[in-house]
Every structure is written in structure tokens, then in C-alpha cells.
Amino acid sequence: MIATDAILAGIAALMAYATAVLIKWASEAKTPVHASVVTFLLAMMVAMFAGALVYFVAPSRSSIIEGLWLGSALMSISVIPFFLTYLNEVKQRVAEGHRFTPRPIVHPYRFIAAVVALVLVNELLMGATFQLAAGSVLSGGIVDVLTSVATSPWFLFTMSAEMALTTYFLRDRISAGLYRVLLLQSLIMFLSPTAFALGAWVAFSVYLSSATMIVLFIYLMEFIYRHRQLDAAFSHYVGALLGIYGLMMAGQFIWLYFGGWADIFALGIVAEMVVFFAAIVGLERFGQGLGTPWQLDANWTFGVLASIFVAEIFMGGLLAVQIDPAHYAGTFFTLPLSGSAGTIAYHAIYNGFWFLAGVTASTWFLTMMGIEMGALVLFKIRETPNLENRIRMVLMMSCYAVFAVFFPSIYYHAAFPNAPAQATVPVLGWSMGIGSAVLAASALTVVILTYAIMGTLTALFGRRVVCSTFCTAALMYQGTTLDAMKSFNRSGPVGRKYLGSRFSTAYSISTGVILGSLLLASTTSYLDSTGVWNVKVLGADPTVFLFSISFGILWYVLFVAVPYVGTYNCVTMGWCYTGAISQAFHKIGLFKLKVRSKDVCKACTTLDCAKSCPIGLVNMPGFFRTKGEFRSSKCCGVGDCVSACPYGNMYIYDVRHWVRGKLGLPLPAPRGTKLPMVGASPPPSATTATRATLTPGPAPSVRASPGGDPAPGL
Ligand code: SF4
Ligand code: SF4
Ligand code: SF4
């Protein structure tokens, strides 16, 4: 059997090479005759495997004859289009004589579709033939057989080799960005866990394909950050590919969790293959023109974020089930989808809710997200001139790492009573510590942590302690690409309604609802714990439910909806209860933004501070010009405005400055930021660069050379 497998593997390798060469020719075909030669040769391969399959389905003397007949018939048919095309060209040559020039391919999209279809059929037939030849049994209906073939090593590895080889053969015609994406795609195809039903292979492929996909997502996110206006064909390709990866990861999760149901994964594999070869054969479409800048294309950006999120949710679930099957098998999809229609609907909602909330709170999902978003934050740190801000971002990443490791141990015990009990320790922000039954034993500690520590730190250093350092949202929104999406705060249909530091009616309503729900959940939880009530929401303590729906589901839904609602929407729209309470402490605290010179602001025409603010606090320049400082309890202290000011005119004021002032100590000179450059044209900043990319034109300049207030420094 090993010898048979080795022979089949050798043939598969040869076929992969031959197919890759044919696809290269297809990509380079310019005339109808060239195109028909390629389709003819691909059709010959199809005919060959169709004949072989007839034999292997029921090996016998008669099936050899039948296979030969079928193969010969298909070969004969496939030669007809080639001859007709060739004869047509001969007629044109005769008619036009020396003036003859070959015509371009009449229907290039039909040609692409024909090549992709022939490659797909060829691979499926080869996969089926080799599976039978290797001793496997293909049983069930046509869908079962196709799924079995498309998820077999003969299909997956051969396809992966073809993808890598064609990418390599055509490397001179492929841009660097697309080249890397295609190679990573080939590797992901190779690392399909369904290829072998061996525990070691499944573990190896799940870990490595997840890691490769994370690298691909980071690369694509950073790529679109650096290329605000993508090649139109490339942007379509990226959109389609990410959607397919969402499908593939869902398929992998379902295959692993439900033990072998691979139809969705097979569909994803075939879709990926189709998209890949359609791009390769139609390579000339790439580089033909720029599409809409993605910062102006909310739907495309939403599609990218949503697809990546779907892939990550299922990747998180996949990793959780792979790493800790005993734990997670008992926590996902616990209610059966049976009974009356109402029962089925309730069970479906229950299962879906706790699956989403469970995955988003799992260590593996948080780690994966942390690596991905953390990489973008590292890129952001590299281009942040302000030292204080760089230090904050490092702290923020450290907090996220601690959270990702410790939080699930608390959450899982609370949300899933049947999950193994783990350490129950209080966590900052857990339902604000009010009457939380699940943490009743340590409620006092929670209250102290929540109000004493968070409140004191917020009062001293501002809301940035929570919203820009402790909270995982900070990491998610501070990386290069997500930070660039703050442009949607001004252009998004919802985001632009929340601009400025005023509290709109909508803001007050959402904050009121969230604080009211916190009070209601906490009271109910407390009464539950005393035995007065026994209220559960979707089977959970009300505070656990509130936390889960707020931070396990709603937060991510609105994260994906950033192109419509803007970044940091938890802050701008006021729907987060942790943020709302932190905001109250911020209001009475010392934190504010100050400028060294009001006159510099009066002369400033860039207003980069306002443009860079992810919260959309666009009214700050007005305050700087009149008062020299700005306070807003919406300000979460990310400090982008400080980094963006082209004159280095801004600084963050907090307890450090207050203490120095009280002690009469001199304030240290600003570090890691630009010195004032009054009178000079501002250097390009992130926001001016963005604007310049989108609207080419002269860079704005300062019209006056104002005098200045004494610069207090930091
Ligand atoms: S408002 Fe809430 S979710 Fe948003 S950054 Fe602040 S604490 Fe985090
Ligand atoms: S960008 Fe700088 S100089 Fe201009 S208004 Fe803002 S703080 Fe003032
Ligand atoms: S005003 Fe400045 S510090 Fe405050 S949220 Fe906006 S960018 Fe961050």
C-alpha cells in the first residue's frame, strides 16, 4: 500500500507540475488559438482521469474497455473547439494575407471560466481516482463523494502545489503584495486538517494554518493601511478571499467539533481554488486602475472587517476545541435543536449566544486577536513620535496580555457552570462589582478594585487609564489600520452624529439604557443571591448575561460596524457601562489637554489635533485658541492629538503636572515630541498625508507667525 501511495504521489506531483504549466500558458494566452490549445490540453487531462475513474469505480476487464471508450470519446470531443478555432484563423490568414494580425480572445471571461472549470473537474476526477486506487471507499450521495474528494490529501496537496507553482512561474507578472498573498494562500490550502484523520496532523495543521492565516490578516491589514487606494482588481480579490476564509474556518470548526461533517469546508476549499485560478488566469486585470479609496468605501471596509471577524470567531472556536476538547465540548451547543418551534428557536438563540460569548472570551480567541491587533499596534508605535504615547501603548499591550490569560478563567466558571471550576478572582469592570452573585464571596474586593483603584487612577490620570490602557478595546482600536478608520467617525452615517464633546440626546439615551440595565442586572443578581428571586437570563446570572452581551457580542458587532459607526464607538456613543463610570471619575479629575501657546493655535490652519482624534472631538482647537486648554469627559486620552500637532504645541496635563506645580518644581522639557515650529509650514503628519493621498494639492501652511505663551513643557 505504501508503494502504491508513493507511485500515486509521484503521478500527482507530475500532474500538479503539468497543470501549473498549463495555467501559466492560459494566463499568457493572447489569441483564440493559444486559448484553445490550453483548453484542449486541460480537456485531455479531464478525459484521461474520467476514463481511469470508470475503471477504479468497479475494476474489471469490461470497465477498462468502458474507461478507454469514455476517455477516447471525451478527447475526440475536446479536439473539436481547437480545430474550429484553428480553421477560423487559417481562413483569416488566407483572407488577409500579409496584413493578418492575430485577433484577441473574443470572450476573455468565458475563457477564464472554462480554464477554472476544467482545472476543478480535473482535480476532482484525479482526487477520486487516486482515492479509489489507494484503497479508500467513496460512498454516499454525490455531495458526500465530492466532499470526500475535495477534503482528501490528493485534492488538497495537489491543488496547493499547483497554486504555489503557478504563483512562482508567474512571479514576474505579479505585484509583490499579491505574490505574498498567493503564496500564503497556497500554504493555507496545504495545511488543511481534513487531509489526514491523524491526531498529530490535525493538531499540526490547525495550529500552523491558524498562524499562517493570522500572518495573512496582519499583512493585509497593514497593506491596506499603507495603500489607501488599492488596485481595483486587488481590492475585489481581497474581499472575495476574506469572505471565503470566513467560510473555510467555519467549515473547519464544524468538521472538528461535530466530528467529520466537512461539506462547508469542502465548499470553502473549492471557492478558494476558483477565486485563486480566476485571478491567475485573468492576471492582466490587476494593475489596470485604482479603485475607490477604502476610507471612502464603507461597504468594502465593512466586508473586510466582517469576513476577518467571522474567520477569527471560528478560528478561536477551532483552537479552543483542538487544545482543550474536554472543556469546550461541554460548553458549546449544549441544547438540542428539537421539540416545538418555540423550543427550537430558544435553543438556537441560546446556543448561538453562548457560542459567540464563549469564543470571544476564550484565551485562544483573545490571544489570536491580541497577536493580530498587537502587531498593528507595534507598527503604530514605530510611527508615533510622542514618547509618552509610546509608553502608554506598551502598557496597553501588557494589560491585554494579562487580561487574555486570566480573564477566561473567571468568565468560564461564571458563564458555564458545567465548565471545570477554575480560580475565581475579582476582575476590574465585572458588572461593576455590584451584587454579582457569581463573585459574591469576593464582592467587597471587586467593589474596592472597581471604584477605589479605577476611580482613583482615573481621577489622577484621566479616563485613559481605563479606555486607553486597561481595556482590550484600546488595543483593538489603536493599531495602524483601525486607527486610520477613524476617518469613518466623520463620514460614517452614524459616526458623524456623535462628533464633538457635547452629549447628544442619542448619547444620553444609550448611556441611560446601559447604566439602567447595569442597575437592574445587579439588583436582580443580588436578590437572586439572597433567595428572594430566581431570575436567569439565557440560563445565566443577569450580570453575567449583561457582561456577555455587552463585551462578548455587542462590542464586536460594533467593532465590525466601524465603517458606519466610527471607531471607539463605545466611547462616542456612550453605550459602555465601564466607560460611563470611568467618565464620571474623569469629570472630577485632573486630566486635561493643554497647549503651550494659544497663538500658535490661532494661526494654525491644519487643525490636525482635531482630525486625528478617534473620538471625533473636533471642537478642541476652539478651546485651545480661547482658553489654552480643553476638557471633555469623552476624551479617553489616547494622545493621538498630541502626536498629530505639527507644532508640538500640545501636551497632556495630569497629576504629575499638578504635583510639580504645587511643589514649585520646574516641569521637564518635552521628550520624544517635536518642538514648536511657529512660522514654518507644518511637516506632513498622518492626517495630512492621508488627505494628500486622497485629494492631491498643496500642503496647508501657517499664515502668521504668532507670539507665544510661555511654554510649560511636560
Ligand atoms: S468605553 Fe468601555 S469598551 Fe470602550 S474603551 Fe472604555 S472601557 Fe473599553
Ligand atoms: S494642531 Fe496643534 S497648533 Fe493646530 S490647533 Fe491643534 S494643537 Fe493647536
Ligand atoms: S482629544 Fe486627544 S487625547 Fe482625547 S481622545 Fe481625542 S486624540 Fe485622544
Q: What is the pLDDT of residues 15-30, one digit of tens each?
A: 999 999 999 999 999 9
Side-chain half-sphere CA neighbours of 298 within 13 A = 18
- Return the DSSP state at 537: B
Tens digits of residue pLDDT in 653-693: 999 999 988 898 876 665 544 444 444 444 444 444 433 33
Q: How does pLDDT run across 450-507, given as a tens digit for each residue?
A: 677 788 899 999 999 989 998 889 999 999 999 999 999 989 998 888 888 888 898 9
399-408, 440-449, 642-651, 683-692, range with the lowest pLDDT: 683-692
With 50 as the cut, is the pLDDT of residue 294 above it? yes
Whether residue 522 has pLDDT greater than 90:
no
476 touches ligand 1 (CB under 6 Å):
no
Q: What is the largest CA-CA distance in the chain?
A: 103
The predicted structure's pLDDT at residue 260: 76
User: 246 CB less than 6 Å from ligand 3?
Assistant: no
Please answer whether residues 597 and 678 qualify as being in contact, where contact means their C-beta atoms are separated by less than 8 angstroms. yes
Report the alpha-carbon distance of residue 653 to residue 265 in Å, rounded: 54
Instruction: Please tell me the total number of residues recorded for the chain in this structure.
Output: 714
Ligand closest to Cα of 403 equals 1
Residue 126: name the closest of 95, 93, 161, 92 by CA.
161
Report the C-alpha gap between 287 and 518 in whole angstroms. Answer: 53
Range from 19-23, 395-399, 524-528 carrying the lowest mean pLDDT: 524-528
The cell for 465 is: 487609564
Determine the 3-state secondary structure of 287 from DSSP.
coil
Strands 650-653 and 592-595: antiparallel
pLDDT for the residue numbered 683: 47
Q: Does residue 462's CB lie within 6 angstroms of at least one atom of ligand 1? A: no
Q: What pLDDT is stored for residue 12 in this prediction?
A: 93
* Nearest protein Cα to ligand 1, atom 6: 467
Which ligand is located closest to the Cα atom of residue 628? 2
Q: Is the pLDDT of residue 250 over 90?
A: yes
Residue nearest to atom 5 of ligand 1 (CA): 467
- Taking the CA of residue 604 as reference, the ligand 2 atom at the shortest distance is 4
Least confident residue range of 148-157, 173-182, 643-652 = 643-652
Residue-level pLDDT at 419: 46
Centroid of ligand 3 to alpha carbon of 618 (angstroms): 10
The better pLDDT of the pair 1, 270 is held by 270
Cell matching residue 93: 490568414
User: Which residues have any ligand 2 atom within 6 Å of their CB?
Assistant: 595, 600-601, 604, 606-609, 621, 624, 645, 647, 649-650
Q: Is the pLDDT of residue 337 over 80?
A: yes
Q: Could you give the 3-state DSSP secondary structure of residue 653?
A: strand
576 C-beta closer than 6 A to ligand 1: yes
| Ligand 3 contacts CB of residue 650 (under 6 A) | no
Q: Tell me, what's the pLDDT at 334?
A: 86
Residue 424 has pLDDT above 60, yes or no: no
72: number of Cβ within 10 Å: 12
Task: Kindly report the average pLDDT of the chain as a whole number.
Answer: 85
CB of 365 within 8 A of CB of 320? yes
Q: Which residue type does 182 have?
A: L
Check pLDDT > 80 for residue 395. Answer: yes
Per the structure block, which three cell numbers stand in for 124?
Answer: 476532482
Interface confidence (ipTM) of the complex:
0.97
Question: In the predicted model, what is the mean pLDDT of residues 179-188?
Answer: 96
Residue 604 alpha carbon to ligand 2 centre in Å = 6
C-beta atoms surrounding 140 within 10 Å? 11
In the numeric block, which cell numbers belong to residue 667?
A: 516641569
What is the model's pLDDT at position 414? 55
The structural domains of the chain, with segments of one domain joined by +, span 1-138, 324-584, 596-694
Nearest residue to 293 via CA among 609, 685, 689:
689
The count of other CB atoms within 10 Å of the CB of residue 672 is 14
Q: What is the pLDDT of residues 101-160, one digit of tens each?
A: 888 887 889 999 999 999 999 999 999 999 999 888 888 889 999 999 999 999 999 999
Ligand 1 proximity of 473 Cβ (cutoff 6 Å): yes
What are the cell numbers at 318? 477551532
DSSP 3-state of 593: strand
Q: Tell me the CA–centroid distance for residue 641 and ligand 3, in Å.
A: 6
Q: What stretches of 29-60 show up as alpha helix (H) in DSSP?
A: 32-57
Distance from Cα 622 to the centre of ligand 2, integer Å: 10
Nearest CA owner, ligand 1 atom 7 = 579
The Å distance, Cα 467 to ligand 2 centre, comes to 23
Contact 576, 570 (CB under 8 A): yes
